[in-house]
Each structure stands twice: as C-alpha cells, then as structure tokens.
Amino acid sequence: MKIQIDSLKEGHNGWLETVSPGELELNGSPFNGKVSVQLDVDKRSGKIPVSIKAKSVGRFTCDRCGEEFDREIEGKCNIMFVMREQPLPDEMPGDDVRSYFSGQSELDVTSDIRDALLLSIPFKLLCSEDCKGLCPGCGVNLNFEECKCLKEKDR
Ligand SMILES: [Zn+2]
Ligand SMILES: [Zn+2]
C-alpha cells in the first residue's frame, strides 16, 4: 500500500482506506478479510509524519478449547519520513524513521501495516474470556457439551 505524495495537501490529511489482505502481503496469515486502514498524514516541508491504524478480523484457534473463532485485531504504527538526498546507510524497510527524496511520488507503507497487525495478535488467544475448555477426562468441549466423566464413574 502506497501513499501518493503529490495528492496530499499541505498540513493534515486524514482518510480511511479498505484494502485486501493480498495488497498488504497478508496472504497465508490469520487475516483473510478486508483490512480497514485509517491514515493520518502531515505534509510539511521536508518531513511527512504518518500515523496508521489498521483493523481486520482474523481467524484464530482457541488455546483452551481448540475451536476456531474470529477476532478483530487493531494494529498501530507511526513512521516519520524525512527528506534526504541519500537514504542513511543502515536504513531498513520497516524503520520508524525513513528517508524520501525530493521528486519521489509515493511512500510505501505495506510492511508497516502488515507488521502492525501481525504484532498485535495476542500471544495467548481464547475464543471467549470464560471459555470452559476441554475436559481432561473425556475430552469433550465443555462450551458445547456436558462432561461424560461423572456418568461413567456412576455406572
Ligand atoms: Zn475456547
Ligand atoms: Zn469429562
């Protein structure tokens, strides 16, 4: 996903875009639906701070019961584009501060948005806060079924 520098007015620009996961190189990730991206971009002389909020629904597997579920994830990032004649020698594509040149037409924020979303996925994911999980005895999903252990013991 790219920001067209020439289409920005001086000062603050804010807009919302809806993009496909493919455009953000999210194919094969938990995010398989549209991503809504809120951009706030300040066009100043020699500097363009970009603030991004991206939201999308991902498909995850519950750590407690193993069921698949959908959850909206929001990722945020800020990048400062600084006009320079040459990029700094140790500059990397995902850096928070990056160079652009006079005459450059667009700013690529694809990897920033992708990483912001992927890094916002919680380490532990539950289908719901009160997921009952699986019974260690009979293995039923206690969210949907009654445990059979007790009945078997009673026999
Ligand atoms: Zn669960
Ligand atoms: Zn059981």
**How far does the centroid of ligand 2 lie from the alpha carbon of residue 24, in Å?**
44
pLDDT of residue 92: 84
**Taking the model in full, what pTM does it have?**
0.86
C-alpha to C-alpha distance for 52 and 35, rounded to whole angstroms: 12
Q: Which residues are in the CB-under-5-Å shell of ion ligand 2? A: 135, 137-138, 147, 149
pLDDT tens-digit profile of 21-80?
Answer: 999 999 999 999 999 999 999 999 999 999 999 999 999 999 999 999 999 999 999 999
pLDDT of residue 155: 53
C-alpha to C-alpha distance for 29 and 61, rounded to whole angstroms: 13
What is the residue extent of each domain of the chain? 2-130
Mean pLDDT along residues 72-97: 92
Ligand nearest to the CA of 140: 2
pLDDT of residue 93: 78
The 3-state DSSP class for residue 95 equals coil
**How far does the centroid of ligand 2 lie from the alpha carbon of residue 155, in Å?**
14
Q: For the chain, where are the alpha helices, taking DSSP H only?
A: 110-119, 149-154
**How far does the centroid of ligand 1 lie from the alpha carbon of residue 51, in Å?**
34
**How far does the centroid of ligand 1 lie from the alpha carbon of residue 62, in Å?**
5
**How far does the centroid of ligand 2 lie from the alpha carbon of residue 32, in Å?**
35
Torsion-angle region of 25 (φ positive above 0: left; ψ -120 to 50: alpha; else: beta): left
